[in-house]
Chain A
Amino acid sequence: MKNTLKVERAILNLTQDELAQEIGVSRQTINSIETNRYVPSTLLSLKLSKLFNKPVNDFFKLEDND
């Protein structure tokens, strides 16, 4: 799965740390999601969706091998 979290974060002009604080996780978690090392839970994805004001599918995309 790939994501455009970094782009969405840039649109809102947030640092990794600020985004982490907004949704109640650590900066490490945001970094791991952005570098595709961690796939977040549905709950976290929905929190991101609420913050970005976009459906989850807009910033998380399935890849061919998923």
Chain B
Amino acid sequence: MNKQKFCEAEERRLNWLINFKLPNYWKKIGWGILVVSLALILSTKFIDGDFDLLKSILKKAMLIGLLIVTISREKIEDEFIENLRSKSFSLAFIFGVIYVLAQPVVNYIVSLILQSEKANYEDLGDFQILWFLLVVYLTAFWSLKRRNA
């Protein structure tokens, strides 16, 4: 009996996690965080000084903004939207893996052609990977939504 209750509680927790979405108004907050962080990062280019730490924090804030937009509910969040979400996540995952594998190779080949003596192979940073995943997800989601409008 205890084991059954434990399994049921586990399932409830898992379902809560899978179905977790922020309310719709969070989408605007997410966009706000993204736009403000992006504007601040761009403005550091016009001011002299060492902004490495600030830039690193702002980049994380941009990712948080995009994540909030991604997990915010649509005005009407129904099974069709859930279907579009899973298609978009799947596309983002596949393109993400291809991007992580191919982009460093492309970079290396291009730098070999342009400056062969300075060419070195470098893997992508975590920001680039996460940014790409979130942007591909949102782009796929919007285009699928527009296609069915």
Contacts and interface: CB of A to CB of B under 8 A. Distances in A.
Interface residues of B, number: 12
A41 B79 contact: yes
Contacts of B78: 24-26, 29
Interface of B: 74-76, 78-81, 83, 145, 147-149
Given A25-B78, A38-B80, A43-B79, 20 more contacts: A20-B76, A24-B78, A25-B80, A26-B74, A26-B75, A26-B80, A26-B81, A28-B80, A28-B145, A28-B149, A29-B79, A29-B80, A31-B148, A37-B147, A37-B148, A38-B148, A40-B79, A40-B80, A41-B79, A44-B79
Interface of A: 20, 24-26, 28-29, 31-32, 37-38, 40-41, 43-44
